[in-house]
Amino acid sequence: MEAYELLPIVALFALVTVEFGGHALLQFLTTRQGTLTPLRERSFRAGHAHAGVLLILSLVYFLYLPQAEFSSSTDWLFGVLLLVGVLAQSGGFFVHLALGSEGRASLGTHLTRAGAVLIAAALIALGVGLVQSL
């Protein structure tokens, strides 16, 4: 099985977890069974939104990946790099929610930044591959 066949399936199932996260956030906001500080609410919303948008981006990425004509191992490398970046960037917001404090960087902040770098690297690699395949 090729990376562009399996990894979109992983992304689709990951979207279900994002949907559940939206439900959890809605429960917090509407039932008041738990309290979220403004920092935690912002982090929860940001992590949830980034995960959803970036997973949709990954589905588009996997449509174009075969057109770059990379080797199978390179497809896997860049596909996994993208998904790890998505997990790191969105997950960093949740780590910051748990460990961070207002106005200070935390492990979550660094994780979010590292995820952004990984996503950028995967996107640039695909862009270069697409240009080279013209």
How many independent structural domains does the chain possess? 1
Which structural domain range is residue 66 located in?
A: 3-132
Residue-level pLDDT at 79: 97
Sign of CA dihedral 79, 99, 41, 33: positive
For 4-71, what is the HEC assignment? HHHHHHHHHHHHHHHHHHHHHHHHHHHHCCCCCCHHHHHHHHHHHHHHHHHHHHHHHHHHHHHHHCCC
> How far apart, in whole angstroms, are the C-alpha atoms of residue 24 and residue 64?
33
Does residue 12 surpass a pLDDT of 90? yes
Q: Measured over all CA atoms, what is the biggest interatomic distance in the chain, rounded to whole angstroms? A: 56
CA 112 centroid distance within chain: 9
Residue-level pLDDT at 66: 96
- Say if residues 90 and 54 touch (Cβ distance below 8 Å): yes
Please write the tens of the pLDDT for every residue from 53-90: 999 999 999 999 999 999 999 999 999 999 999 999 99
